[in-house]
Amino acid sequence: MRCVLPKRSTQSGVTGAAPVQAASSWLGGLTPKAFMATYWQQQPLLVRQAHGGPWMTRAQLFALAARDDVEARWVQKNGTQWQLTHGPWTQAWLRRAAQSPAASLLVQGVDTQLASVRAVLEAFRFVGDARLDDVMVSWASPGGGVGPHLDHYDVFLLQARGQRRWSIAPPPVTPRWRRGVPLKQLVGFQATQQWTLQPGDMLYLPPGWAHHGVSLDDACMTYSIGFRAPQARALALDVLLRQADEGEAASAWYTDRGAVPASEPARMPATLQRFAQHAVKRLAQDHAAVSLALGESLTEPKPHTWFAPTQRAWRNGAVRVHAATRVLYDDQTFFINGESYRMHGADAPWLMRLANQRALGVDDMRGVTANVRQAVKAWVAQGWLVPADALG
Ligand code: SIN
Ligand code: CO
């Protein structure tokens, strides 16, 4: 959806850039630059003692899995049989089910629920917010896991509690999938490397690497810091649909004045085929509209996300971006939760600062333009931003 902040031309001295802290312990002493150049999307990296916590508890994870607004899966292995069920479950059921060996609970989007887990995701902002997805947290009883598989996304597997043995292998040339199981599991997985991860250890895997993690005790909890990479066809479809939606009123109708009577009534007219090709090409070649639709698409909140409008009075104090709110910007436009705002003059650096810091402090709020103050007020009312002292 497109919205416009009123135009103002004054400039301010504020800079929107807020460089993300280098995550040196996270990367085993490598700078983000060195990591991106050598490992990112290229090869796995094992980091011992990447992070010292604090870690969420199993009780907190079970409490999340009992909620109907949280996506959770339970995986149970019985001999060679696998069972997959989707939450929510009662905590009593979870505690009982957790007694069996080879069980695993996986909860998506924990970064939007717990500040300590959000802080872990924040450490990876050097990759860029457009690529960040979420933190999935799993708990498993001894022998528990999801079987050998591969993901199409980069992932950092951070051991939070207990121990897990990870076995990995390079991307298979022609992956073969196991039949008759409710999970996508590889057949013939042959590990080339294996490690036991202790609390604080982390394993980075590029997309496509086969991996298999098995819990070694009943404390095992793993954070999966996941990234997203749009798939070309799906992205093209979404971008074109958004563009088509926006431009519907101004779009031309097909005409065929001068057409001759059809001798083969069922034959598709070549002029109609060219009309379709031209229409698609025009949408694709409108680079500004593609960028606009891309920003809206990438900031669309995850499914099931729900923002509670703020009830409390807010009087221009400091604000934070809600953990589930997605924010990006480009040279012209600020994107927030699927909406786009053209940035003008002095508004731009404040909006950029809000996006990069994911917050505006008390002093920032004193300096912002009237446009930005008004926009912030509206976003706070929607629950997209939260007063800085509030949870969210
Ligand atoms: C898990 O935490 O059990 C699975 C994580 C993964 O393999 O991506
Ligand atoms: Co995986």
Which among 193, 227, 261 is the end of a domain? 227
Reported as a pLDDT band with limits 50, 70 and 90, residue 12 is low
pLDDT at position 391, please?
44
Q: Ligand 1 atom closest to Cα of 137?
A: 2
Reported as a pLDDT band with limits 50, 70 and 90, residue 10 is very low
Number of separate domains in the chain: 2
pLDDT (tens digit, 9 = 90+) per residue, 350-388?
A: 999 999 999 999 999 999 999 999 999 999 999 999 998
Q: Ligand 1 atom closest to Cα of 146?
A: 3
Reported as a pLDDT band with limits 50, 70 and 90, residue 248 is confident
Among 75, 151, 154, 157, the mutation site with the greatest number of ligand 1 atoms within 8 A of its Cβ is 157
Can you give the pTM of this predicted structure? 0.91
CATH code of 319's domain? 3.40.366.30
The verdict on 337 and 306 lying in the same domain is yes
Residue minimizing CA distance to atom 8 of ligand 1: 224
The verdict on 172 and 71 lying in the same domain is yes
Segment 220-232 shows an average pLDDT of 96
Give φ, ψ of 359 to 5 degrees. -170, 155
pLDDT at position 118, please?
96
Closest by Cα among 366, 355, 377 to 16: 355
Which among 169, 200, 227 is the end of a domain? 227
- Whether residue 30 is contained in a domain is answered as no
pLDDT at position 18, please?
57
Reported as a pLDDT band with limits 50, 70 and 90, residue 3 is low
The verdict on 153 and 79 lying in the same domain is yes
Reported as a pLDDT band with limits 50, 70 and 90, residue 303 is confident
Ligand 1 pocket check for 349: Cβ under 6 Å: no
Ligand 1 pocket check for 104: Cβ under 6 Å: yes
Reported as a pLDDT band with limits 50, 70 and 90, residue 8 is very low
Q: What domain range is 139 assigned to? A: 39-227
The verdict on 112 and 182 lying in the same domain is yes
Instruction: Reduce the secondary structure of 343-370 to three states and give it as a string.
Output: CCCCHHHHHHHHHHHCEECHHHHHHCCH
